[in-house]
């Protein structure tokens, strides 16, 4: 009878430790999500600043009498891509990752599935940010095609998502 009591006490301690471990892992996953989405928002803010500089340079070129329709189209495409990426990042930032353990024996698989879901979601957001970066770069390239643009400095996109 005493052995059974000891086993019950040990089993209860193990349950508490597993629960605490799962809670810590869940908190870590949510912290990772928050850090990565904050980073993506900073990158998108820098891209928006670059796009604004490209647009002001496009207006200088247009005022000089050069045709800047291709640049305008590239700027619109880039702006749409940035807006979409910001929406994707904000949607991702709002997500909370809850680890639901059905059985004690499947806890490891449940934690792994939640972590894998976070990785997949962040990969999709990263692709969206990369598409925005590529669109900003295309706008810059379209601006460079027009001669005489390099008189007022350069507008090279230096924001690269990591």
Q: What is the CA radius of gyration of the chain?
A: 25
Average predicted confidence (pLDDT) for the chain? 87
Q: What length is written for the chain? A: 162
Give the pLDDT confidence of 97-132 residue by residue, as tens digits. Answer: 888 877 777 788 888 999 999 999 999 999 999 999
Query: Is 79 within 8 Å of 58 (Cβ atoms)?
Result: no
pLDDT for 149? 46
pLDDT for 159? 59
Euclidean distance between CA atoms 129 and 110, whole angstroms: 29
pTM of the model: 0.79
70: which residues sit within 8 A by CB, 6+ positions away? 142, 145
Residues in the chain, pLDDT under 50: 149
């Amino acid at each position: 009878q005493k052995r059974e009591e000891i086993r019950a006490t040990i089993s209860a301690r193990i349950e508490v430790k597993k629960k605490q471990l799962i809670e810590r892992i869940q908190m870590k996953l949510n912290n990772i999500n928050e850090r990565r989405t904050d980073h993506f928002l900073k990158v998108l803010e820098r891209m928006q600043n670059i796009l604004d500089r490209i647009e002001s340079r496009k207006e200088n070129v247009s005022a000089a009498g050069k045709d800047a329709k291709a640049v305008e189209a590239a700027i619109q495409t880039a702006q749409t891509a940035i807006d979409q990426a910001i929406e994707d990042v904000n949607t991702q930032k709002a997500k909370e990752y809850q680890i639901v353990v059905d059985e004690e024996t499947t806890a490891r698989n449940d934690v792994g599935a939640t972590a894998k879901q976070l990785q997949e979601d962040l990969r999709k957001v990263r692709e969206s940010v990369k598409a925005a970066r590529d669109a900003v770069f295309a706008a810059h390239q379209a601006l460079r095609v027009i001669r005489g643009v390099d008189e007022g400095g350069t507008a090279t996109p230096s924001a690269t998502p990591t």
